[in-house]
């Protein structure tokens, strides 16, 4: 056997010998049943002490790679070799480098990506340090499945003031983002005999959550103001109606009070719930944000929120505001799902809100997103003339309608070929055919320069498609 050791490496000599022997067994250089040299002989060959070889042998014996036969020696154990898969392409391969370069130049108009470059990392780090030093010992153990009381209390006050949500801290359940919140709601409120009434179009991620949880999804038509309540079935009760009333996704409408009341009355008459996804209502650029539907009837509206769009998706902190009658069931299932959401991040978030940092951050981000929205509209106008922008001036995306143009698979692929990702509204629609000329452009996660470059690439691709 030829083993080499390098005393300049950070790895210990024992580890180097152990890994070389293990690799030799895996690759069948040392085949099953082969006798190994004695520790003294191998130590002499490698130029190391016998103890190093003995330690490597002992580790391989413990893991089952070797076996000792009395008065015979040390052998490779049966069943210890493994046929290795072929190695991936070398990272310096030209094709790999080309792919990496392309991903760096990719411009993605995804609608749900916030400006992570503005995340207050130094402030968050300071609050994290304070939380770790100042929190009592029991908060480093398991906490209640509904979430840390400090965050739920702070959140109840914040939502009451900012969103008009009526609730007590014990009605709030902290989740690992809105995804987990909607999954829990679906699993607990639906069965194989029921269905969910969903705005159409709607976020494909939401529909995927409902379907994965085993629910049937039925589309309900929307217009420029949001869902049309009179399209809901009066003969077949849904488990719940899913809506985004503050800023309908993706079309951007704000549901008027008349339709909100219609939905509440429908839920009361049909004995079902309304699930209100309030995903980006903090960012409104004309006037003030409209209050939540939950404030109209806290016993019929389940309110879902998240900090992913406000701060960062990596925080994984969402929440559900539940009717009191549902709380015990949701707490029990949350316990079985993941015991509880990360306690330390909840406590940091509570401090972040209490000290006014969240409101200041939102005010700052409104200015950032307003600017990016203005640049996007200006760039569209410069390159395409008078385009039709759909929806309310809010959130982190807008919808553009191009008369005489169809965003089909061929056109979308040509965008991709130019390192550009855009999202036709048809991708979000269950009932196809009504939005073929409209596209969703998210601007939250793109700098001003990237927005301008992205629209320029759109113009280059679409030049041959546009009807003069």
Give the residue carrying structure tokens 């406000």.
310
What share of the chain has pLDDT > 90, as a percent? 75
Element counts in the chain: helices (H) and strands (E): 14, 16
Specify the 3-state DSSP secondary structure of 153.
Answer: helix
pLDDT score of 96 = 47
What is the rounded distance in angstroms from the CA atom of residue 362 to the CA atom of residue 46? 64
Q: Return d(Cα 283, Cα 252) in angstroms, integer.
A: 12
For the beta carbon of residue 103, count every other beta carbon within 10 angstroms: 10
The better pLDDT of the pair 361, 193 is held by 361
pLDDT, tens digit, 9 for 90 and up, residues 25-75: 888 889 999 999 999 999 888 889 999 999 999 999 999 999 999 989 999
Contact 233, 304 (CB under 8 A): no
Q: Is the pLDDT assigned to residue 169 strictly greater than 70?
A: yes
**Mean pLDDT over the full length of the chain:** 91
pLDDT at 468: 44
CA 192 to chain centre: 27
What residue ranges of the chain are covered by domains with CATH 3.90.1150.10?
104-116+363-462
The C-alpha atoms of residue 264 and residue 159 are separated, in whole angstroms, by 20
Q: What is the pLDDT of residue 103?
A: 54
* Alpha helices (runs of H) in 140-176, residue ranges in sequence order: 149-163
Structure tokens, 132: 């770790």
Nearest to 427 by CA among 197, 182, 198, 205: 205
Tell me if residue 136 falls in helix, strand or coil. Answer: coil
Q: What is the pLDDT of residue 100?
A: 42
Highest mean pLDDT among 1-10, 92-101, 394-403: 394-403
pLDDT of residue 214: 84
Distance between CA atoms of 291 and 246, rounded to whole angstroms?
8
Residue spans of alpha helices (H) in 339-408: 343-354, 357-384
How far is Cα of residue 437 from the mean position of the Cα atoms in its chain?
28
pLDDT over 80 (residue 397)? yes
The CATH number corresponding to 13-76 among 2.30.30.830, 3.40.190.10, 3.30.499.10, 1.10.10.10 equals: 1.10.10.10
Please, what sign has the CA dihedral across residues 458, 463, 465, 468? positive
Contact present, 190 and 213 (Cβ < 8 Å): yes
pLDDT at 456: 96
User: Which pLDDT tens digit goes with each residue over 305-356?
Assistant: 999 999 999 999 999 999 999 999 999 999 998 888 999 999 999 999 999 9
Q: How confident is the model at residue 404, as a pLDDT?
A: 86
Where does the pLDDT of residue 423 fall: very low under 50, low under 70, confident under 90, or very high at 90 and above? very high
- Residue 126 is predicted with a pLDDT of 97
The residue written with tokens 């903090």 in the block is 282
Residues of the chain with CATH 3.40.640.10: 119-359
CATH number of 104-116+363-462: 3.90.1150.10
The predicted-structure confidence for 239-281, as pLDDT tens digits, reads as follows 999 999 999 999 999 999 999 999 999 999 999 999 999 998 8
- Selection from 109, 105, 104 nearest residue 380 by Cα: 109
Query: What residue spans of 190-317 are helical by DSSP H?
Result: 204-212, 257-270
Q: Where in the chain is the domain with CATH 1.10.10.10?
A: 13-76
Cis omega (within 30 of 0) for bond into 250: yes
What mean pLDDT is predicted for residues 280-299?
Answer: 90
CA-wise closest residue to 367 among 449, 314, 444, 311: 444
Q: What is the CA radius of gyration of the chain?
A: 29
Q: How far apart are CA 262 and CA 275, in angstroms?
A: 15
Percent of the residues in the chain that have a pLDDT greater than 70, as a whole number: 94
Angstrom distance (rounded) from CA 368 to CA 362:
10
User: Per residue in 89-115, pLDDT tens?
Assistant: 555 555 544 444 445 589 999 998 999
Cα separation, 399 vs 187, in Å, equals 32
DSSP string spanning 407-455?
Answer: --HHHHHHHHHTTEE-EEGGGG-SSTTS-TTEEEEE-TTS-HHHHHHHH
Q: Indicate the burial class of 440 (C-beta count within 10 angstroms; 0-12, 13-18, 19 or more).
A: buried
Residues 373 and 389 sit within 8 Å (Cβ to Cβ):
no
Yes or no: domain 119-359 corresponds to CATH 3.30.110.30: no
């Amino acid at each position: 056997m030829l083993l080499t050791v390098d005393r300049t490496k950070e790895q210990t000599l024992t580890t180097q010998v152990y890994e070389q022997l293990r690799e030799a067994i895996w690759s069948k250089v040392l085949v099953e049943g082969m006798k190994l040299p004695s520790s003294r002989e191998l130590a002499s060959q490698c130029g190391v002490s016998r103890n190093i070889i003995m330690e490597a042998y002992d580790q391989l014996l413990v893991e089952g790679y070797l076996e000792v036969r009395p008065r015979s020696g040390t052998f490779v154990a049966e069943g210890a070799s493994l046929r290795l898969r072929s190695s991936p392409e070398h990272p310096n391969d030209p094709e790999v480098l080309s792919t990496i370069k392309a991903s760096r130049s990719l411009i993605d108009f995804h609608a749900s990506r916030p400006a992570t470059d503005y995340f207050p990392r130094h402030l968050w780090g300071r609050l994290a340090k304070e939380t770790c030093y100042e929190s009592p010992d029991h908060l480093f153990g398991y906490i209640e499945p509904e979430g840390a009381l400090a965050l739920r209390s702070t959140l109840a006050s914040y939502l009451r003031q900012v969103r008009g949500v009526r609730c007590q801290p014990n009605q709030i359940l902290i989740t690992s983002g809105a995804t987990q919140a909607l999954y829990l709601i679906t699993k607990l409120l639906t069965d194989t005999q029921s269905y969910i009434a969903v705005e159409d179009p709607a976020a494909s991620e939401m529909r995927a959550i409902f379907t994965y949880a085993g629910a049937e999804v039925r589309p309900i038509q929307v217009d420029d103001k949001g869902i049309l309540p009179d399209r809901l079935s009066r003969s077949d009760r849904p488990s719940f109606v899913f809506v985004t009333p503050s800023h309908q996704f993706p079309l951007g409408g704000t549901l008027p009070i008349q339709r909100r009341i219609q939905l509440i009355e429908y839920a009361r008459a049909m004995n079902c719930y309304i699930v209100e996804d309030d995903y980006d209502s903090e960012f409104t650029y004309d006037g003030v944000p409209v209050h939540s539907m939950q404030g109209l009837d806290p016993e019929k509206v389940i309110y879902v929120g998240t900090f992913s769009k406000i701060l960062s998706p990596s925080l994984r902190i969402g929440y559900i505001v539940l009717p009191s009658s549902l709380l015990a069931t949701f707490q029990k299932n949350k316990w079985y799902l993941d015991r509880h959401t990360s306690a330390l991040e909840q406590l940091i978030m509570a401090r972040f809100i209490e000290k006014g940092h969240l409101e200041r951050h939102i005010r700052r981000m409104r200015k950032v997103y307003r600017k990016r929205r203005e640049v996007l509209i200006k760039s569209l106008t410069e390159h395409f003339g008078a385009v039709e922008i759909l929806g309310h001036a809010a959130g982190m995306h807008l919808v553009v309608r191009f008369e005489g143009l169809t965003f089909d698979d061929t056109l979308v692929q040509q965008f991709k070929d130019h390192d550009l990702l855009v999202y036709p509204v048809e991708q979000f629609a269950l009932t196809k055919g009504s939005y073929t000329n409209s596209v969703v452009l998210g601007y939250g996660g793109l700098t001003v320069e990237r927005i301008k470059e992205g629209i320029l690439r759109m113009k280059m691709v679409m030049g041959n498609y546009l009807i003069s």
